[in-house]
Structure 1
Amino acid sequence: MLAHQRDEPGRLTYRDGADVQDGSVERFYFSSPDSWDRETTEVLERLADREPILDVGCGAGKHLLWWAERDVDAVGVDVSPYAVLTARERFEVRGIPERSGEDAERGLENVLVGDMAELPVSTGAFGAVHAVGTQLGLGGSLAGIRDLLAEFARVTDDAGVAVVDNYDPTGLDEEFFGYRSDPRDGIAHRCFHLEFERERSDGSRERAVGRTLHFLLCSPARLRETTIGTPWRIRDVARADGTAHYRAVLEKQR
């Protein structure tokens, strides 16, 4: 992301054994709102009514920028310092100022480095959590997803809303990149790692290999199971036409 932002040559790929897929940095992290599907924009608009918003796994900050340009209060968190630096540079290029006043005093910047399992923000500080990119699956198990939902509940107020997404395994097969089956109904797994290569100015090549990522894929019915023991209930589930991908809107039970 940072190399792309600074217009430096490089290539990102996803690898699962001999299978390779292009990382599509431009499409995944720098796409313009004009290319987004209607459902994406509707979700962002819906959450705008519940500001302040915490964008978990914000990447290069494309959704943060959308909200900022509409004067919606939103803060991003990403585990990657380079993703956070990318988002901050994009804010600077767009002329969006850093936070001031009480937010600055509390160390609450526009974009923060942090793990979604232990978010670096205060309890009850946000009206909504936005966590898309199927990162909820990084919980690795139904219990792990439940723990993440509990953390999202901690950082939101009593009327909190959360938007998460995943792939429904009942609509997938072995052709899906990184797919791993599971004997349980509505459960599967996805595993791959990222590789980045680029040429340095001296002509030598640089290569970085990330750790293997394990995503738990679960159906909406299984996701409902994970809300047991948390303050959340699923309000809506929306599916992209012809795909196994879905978004779920969760609301706190009153």
Structure 2
Amino acid sequence: MLDYQRGGLRGVCEYVDGAERTDAHVAEHYFTPPTEWSDEWRSLLDSLAGPVLDVGCGAGQHTLFLQADREVVAVDVSPRAVETARDAGVDDARVMDMFALDFPRDRFRSALVNGTQLGLAGSFAGVRSFLSDLAAVTDDSGVAVVDSYDPTRLDADSFFGHRPDPRRGVARRAFHVEYRREEDGEAVREVGRTVTFLLFSPERLADAVVGTQWRVADVHRGDDAYYRAVLETR
């Protein structure tokens, strides 16, 4: 992301799962301009009242859109992602683990948890724990936008990194990122840690929020298995 922000990738960035590889689509995932977003996505983002917490902000593309007319705080566990976001013009980007949010109670009105970040919680107990922490830093009228892939609509054979689960509406995804480039005439290979995402259908998400301060207020589906859900405090 930082290389792309500062002039473009100097090599090849891929998702890797065993012997399988696929392009990481850095430009598409982190640098698509708002003019190329769907009207529905822009409207959903625009509906988030400030102050907004952008969890797992990446290169900061959504924060930049939102901060035009409201306060936004962007956090990411990756120092280089935060550096990229600051380079791009994000006003307030901080290195912070989403599972250790360090903010006062009721600090935010809205939260954006985009990029299937919620699945990093690893289990439904983990999802509940994270959402409880998120509720603590959002006020009584809090709204959160989260996303995932619906395993009941996935083509498991073509979905990269797919791991089956015996439970209906549940699956996992696992891969790591490799960035290969040349630097001063020498080959450089950077390998990230393996990340595993819990994937769940909207129905299973509704089950997961039971016992938290949230309810699933709306679900925005695309043409494929991907969807976004709007959570509201009860």
TM normalised by structure 2 equals 0.96
Alignment partner, residue 3 of structure 1: 3
Quote the offset at 1:120 in angstroms: 2.5
Alignment partner, residue 29 of structure 1: 30
Question: Structure 2 regions of 5+ residues with no counterpart?
Answer: none
Alignment partner, residue 73 of structure 1: 71
User: Are 1:181 and 2:168 matched, yes or no?
Assistant: no
Partner SS, residue 88 of structure 2? helix
Map 1:34-113 onto structure 2 (within 5 A). 34-47=35-48, 50-68=49-67, 70-91=68-89, 98=91, 110-113=92-95
Quote the offset at 1:39 in angstroms: 2.2
More strand per residue: 2
Alignment partner, residue 233 of structure 1: 215
Map 1:240-251 onto structure 2 (within 5 A). 240=222, 242-251=223-232
Q: Supply the distance in 1 between the matched residues of 2:192 and 2:206 (Cα, whole angstroms).
A: 31
Alignment partner, residue 117 of structure 1: 99
Q: Do 1:193 and 1:211's aligned partners in 2 also have CA atoms closer than 8 Å?
A: yes
Q: Do 1:129 and 1:163's aligned partners in 2 also have CA atoms closer than 8 Å?
A: yes
Partner SS, residue 238 of structure 1? strand
Q: Supply the distance in 2 between the matched residues of 1:121 and 1:39 (Cα, whole angstroms).
A: 30
Q: Which amino acid aligns with 1:74?
A: V
Q: Supply the distance in 1 between the matched residues of 2:174 and 2:35 (Cα, whole angstroms).
A: 31
Alignment partner, residue 126 of structure 1: 108
Q: Which amino acid aligns with 2:23?
A: D
Q: Deviations over 1:87-108 (max 9, x none)?
A: 00111xxxx7x5xxxxxxxxxx
Q: Do 1:146 and 1:227's aligned partners in 2 also have CA atoms closer than 8 Å?
A: yes
Q: Do 1:191 and 1:214's aligned partners in 2 also have CA atoms closer than 8 Å?
A: yes
- After the TM superposition, which segments of 4 or more aligned residues of structure 1 sit over 6 Å from their partners? none
Q: Supply the distance in 2 between the matched residues of 1:38 and 1:17 (Cα, whole angstroms).
A: 37
Q: Deviations over 1:20-53 (max 9, x none)?
A: 1101111111111111122210111110xx2000
Question: Structure 1 regions of 5+ residues with no counterpart?
Answer: 99-109
TM normalised by structure 1 equals 0.89
Quote the offset at 1:248 in angstroms: 0.5
Q: Supply the distance in 1 between the matched residues of 2:11 and 2:137 (Cα, whole angstroms).
A: 37
Q: Which amino acid aligns with 1:226?
A: A
Q: Supply the distance in 2 between the matched residues of 1:159 and 1:61 (Cα, whole angstroms).
A: 25
Q: Supply the distance in 2 between the matched residues of 1:56 and 1:178 (Cα, whole angstroms).
A: 23
Partner SS, residue 47 of structure 2? helix
Q: Do 1:3 and 1:10's aligned partners in 2 also have CA atoms closer than 8 Å?
A: no
Q: Which amino acid aligns with 1:6?
A: R
Q: Which amino acid aligns with 1:86?
A: T
Partner SS, residue 132 of structure 2? helix
Quote the offset at 1:198 in angstroms: 1.5
Q: Sequence identity of aligned pairs in percent?
A: 50
Quote the offset at 1:10 in angstroms: 2.5
* Structural RMSD (CA): 1.1
Partner SS, residue 212 of structure 2? coil
Partner SS, residue 160 of structure 1? strand
Q: Which amino acid aligns with 2:214?
A: W
